[in-house]
Amino acid sequence: MAVPRRSLAEVQELISSAHEDNTVAEKLQFYDCWALEYEHDVEVLEYRAPRLAAECLASAFPADRDSQIILDVACGTGLVAVELYRHGFRIFHGMDGSEQMLQHARQKKLYQELKQSILGQEPLAAPTDLYDAVIIVGAMSCGQVPLSVIPELCRVTKPGGFLCLTTRSNTSNLQYKSELQARLQELEGEGWWERVRVLEVEDWEKATSEQEASPGSEYISGLVYLYRKKVASPPCTAR
């Protein structure tokens, strides 16, 4: 029996609840329950982050994309891997806190490895300096993944490799965005990495309310950050 599809208003209400200040266990339960309808719901919102981030990361690899090892953090159902595959990438490892999201990602048969990991609560289950690129899309925002995950993202990226991440610019995420940018700039100043590109996008996805929307628009804006880990960078330690 087909699952009834949600309307835009229903999806907006659901997304708003995803960013509430719940416990980690409650968030994981939310995403487990959401996994079945997740891809339809973000399509209703015209969610563009996976495509935009994949395009940004692909720009850093003009050749040999099929040999690059990519870690997709907070991979969800695998939307980012689908977009990266279209750009010629073929080797994907994924991590997510929700086992049900991971189950849907497995069905895409794009990942060589998938692991459950509670982001920001424990070290990433990956060796140091392993990945040619680490990408985290849609998770760096208020009420989602804490900034404490950033040193781990850096640790598992190989020297000379790339880190690609996204965040939103809607009203309720402005403080998180400001803190994220400050942390990224701080680490750049400390010599961890160098900034390659920052892409600002106006129509990131449809807003969950008029209060969240950009002035004169039904959308919120967002950003894609691309950094390159320095070959001789200091140890990546949490704060």
What's this model's pTM, rounded to 2 decimal places? 0.94
> CATH classification of 8-229 is 3.40.50.720, yes or no?
no
> Would you state the pLDDT for residue 4?
67
**Would you mind telling me the total number of residues written for the chain in this entry?**
239
For the segment 57-83, the average pLDDT, to the nearest whole number, is 97
CB 159 within 8 A of CB 231: yes
Strands (E), the chain: 69-73, 91-96, 111-116, 131-136, 157-168, 193-206, 219-229
pLDDT of residue 1 exceeding 50? no
pLDDT at 184: 97
Q: What's the whole-number mean pLDDT along residues 215-235?
A: 90
Query: What CA–CA distances, in Å, run from 45 to 6, 50, 62, 65, 218?
Result: 11, 13, 31, 30, 10
pLDDT at residue 2 is higher than 60: no
Mean pLDDT score, 49-68:
97
For the chain, what are the domain ranges? 8-229
Region 69-86 average pLDDT: 98
* 137-194: pLDDT as tens digits: 999 999 899 999 999 999 999 999 999 999 999 999 999 999 999 999 999 999 999 9
pLDDT digit string (tens) for 88-140? 999 999 999 999 999 999 999 999 999 999 988 889 999 999 999 999 999 99
pLDDT in tens, 196-207: 999 999 999 999
Of residues 211 and 49, more confidence is placed in 49
Distance in angstroms (rounded) separating the CA atoms of residues 76 and 74 = 6
Q: What is the mean predicted confidence (pLDDT) over 52-74?
A: 97
